[in-house]
């Protein structure tokens, strides 16, 4: 297996095994609910590609799929976020891996091409990174896909566009749109882990800081809430008036980006798009402003344009780059503009990814069973409820059921026709 894999060093595996085991201990849904779901043999012999940020929680999901009989191949969904010790541990467990940390985009593209060459039938994707590349580079194998399950807002949008163009050859599940994913992963997971990574990288205090948050989707909501909880002030820049009003009602400052940037201590992009913070914005930043990305694309902050504008560049601390601009101003960029919570931290809390990967795993199972129709679909709400109920049960919580007498009967209100 090592001969087909591309990793940094197999000798790193012991540390990876410890991290994966720690994730297992705190993943009751994936280790219990999902394992039981997969025990019917639907995945036996299926070729499954897992292309998600490659760290301990992702690795544990890959091992559970492999234990269910799937032939699993793994790669990272970003060139900056792979944990080399985790990749080594997976290879030692017999799972093929193509990924190294900070590989650069050229090597990362080759890794994804290697995964595509394995001819996956099912893809567990992040940002539709593998799916799109197969569509462009390997149309013959792409046409043979049996299903894709996608965990990000960006990826769902991309799959929907493929479907709208009649270019999606198989059913797809928008795992991101499941309640047990976006209501918890995006808000609580990204919210906490983004702020946590920023403070760990900088060793700074949040209290008293003004933090500009670009975008008020579920990710932006979570970040703003965590900033406020730690004593900071969130200034939300949002182009959707309804979301902007919601941010205002949630107690945050709201306004155009040009108003918030000159005062910002931290600027966090959370739009899911590209160049949210672009060349025209850099002159508006105050000296010492710290930039971080919490959206999908590494291009949410236009690092290339920032480097072009800068008079000099240097690394001032692990994970922090300083760009010196004119007028003796400088700005700091965390984790090279990649996802700060993963490239600059340990990613989402385990308990959150336990929920998200339960959704992804069940989605993969449903696709393997062949019960999902063509196009982009959301997981059955009844399954969503099962996942939530299983999570509550683990915490010793049970919920009641609505009695028949509590149901509004329209016939009673209209009167009997007899």
Quote the pLDDT of residue 95: 97
Q: Looking at residue 403, what is its pLDDT?
A: 77
Rounded-to-integer distance, Cα 12 and Cα 271, Å: 35
Rg of the chain in Å (alpha carbons):
22
Query: Could you state, in order of their start, the residue ranges of all structural domains in the chain?
Result: 10-181+348-394, 190-343
Q: Which fold has domain 10-181+348-394?
A: Rossmann fold (3.40.50)
Task: Label residue 396 left, alpha or beta by phi (over 0 means left) and psi (-120 to 50 means alpha).
Answer: left
Asked whether the domain spanning 190-343 has the same topology as the one spanning 10-181+348-394, the reply is yes
pLDDT at 295: 87
The residues pairing with 211 across neighbouring beta strands, listed in sequence order, are 234, 266
By DSSP bridging, strand 320-324 and strand 330-334 are antiparallel
Amino acid 3: pLDDT: 65
Alpha-carbon distance values, 366 to 149, 169, 271, 313, 378 (Å) = 10, 17, 30, 49, 11
Length of the chain in terms of residues written: 418
State the CATH architecture for 190-343.
3-Layer(aba) Sandwich (3.40)
Beta bridge partners of 28: none
- The 3-state DSSP class for residue 5 equals coil
Q: Are strands 96-98 and 71-75 parallel, antiparallel or unpaired?
A: parallel
pLDDT of residue 416: 58
Question: What residues in the chain have per-residue pLDDT under 70?
Answer: 1-3, 413, 416-418
Distance between CA atoms of residues 353 and 358, nearest Å? 8
- Residue 209's SS3 state is coil
Residues sharing a CB contact under 8 Å with residue 11, sequence separation 6 or more, in sequence order:
88
Structure tokens at 373: 């129709």
Q: How high is the pLDDT of residue 417?
A: 54
């Amino acid at each position: 297996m090592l001969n087909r894999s591309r990793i940094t060093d197999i000798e790193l595996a012991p540390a990876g095994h410890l991290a994966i085991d720690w994730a297992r201990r705190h993943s009751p849904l994936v280790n219990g609910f999902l394992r039981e779901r997969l025990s019917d043999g639907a995945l036996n012999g299926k070729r499954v590609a897992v292309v998600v940020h490659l760290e301990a929680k992702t690795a544990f999901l890959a091992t559970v799929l492999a234990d269910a009989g799937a032939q699993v191949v793994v790669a990272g969904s970003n060139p900056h976020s792979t944990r080399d010790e985790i990749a080594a541990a997976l290879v030692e467990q017999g799972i093929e891996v193509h990924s190294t940390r900070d590989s650069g985009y050229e090597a990362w593209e080759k890794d994804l091409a290697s995964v595509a060459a394995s001819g996956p039938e099912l893809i567990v994707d992040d940002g539709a990174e593998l799916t799109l590349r197969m569509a462009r580079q390997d149309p013959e194998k792409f046409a043979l896909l049996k299903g894709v399950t996608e965990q990000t807002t960006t990826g769902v949008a991309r799959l929907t566009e493929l479907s709208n163009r009649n270019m999606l050859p198989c059913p797809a599940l928008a795992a991101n749109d499941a309640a047990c994913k976006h209501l918890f992963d995006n808000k609580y997971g990204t919210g906490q882990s983004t702020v946590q990574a920023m403070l760990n990288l900088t060793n700074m205090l949040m209290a008293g800081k003004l933090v500009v948050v670009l975008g008020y989707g579920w990710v932006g909501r979570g970040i703003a809430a965590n900033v406020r909880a730690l004593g900071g002030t969130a200034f939300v820049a949002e182009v959707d008036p309804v979301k902007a009003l919601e941010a205002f009602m949630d107690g945050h400052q709201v306004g155009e980006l040009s108003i918030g940037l000159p005062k910002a201590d931290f600027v966090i992009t959370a739009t899911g798009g590209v160049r949210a913070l672009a060349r025209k914005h850099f002159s508006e930043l105050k000296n010492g402003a710290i930039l971080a990305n919490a959206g999908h694309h590494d291009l949410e902050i236009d690092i290339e344009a920032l480097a072009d504008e800068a008079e000099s560049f240097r690394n001032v601390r692990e994970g922090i780059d300083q760009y010196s601009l004119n007028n003796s101003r400088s700005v700091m960029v965390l984790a090279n503009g990649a996802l700060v919570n993963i490239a600059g931290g340990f990613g989402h809390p385990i308990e959150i990814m336990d929920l998200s990967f339960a959704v992804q795993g069940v989605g993969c199972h449903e696709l393997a069973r062949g019960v999902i129709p063509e196009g982009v679909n959301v997981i059955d709400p009844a399954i969503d409820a099962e996942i939530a109920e299983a999570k509550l049960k683990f915490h010793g919580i049970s919920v009641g059921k609505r009695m028949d007498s509590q149901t509004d009967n329209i016939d009673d209100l209209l009167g009997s026709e007899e």
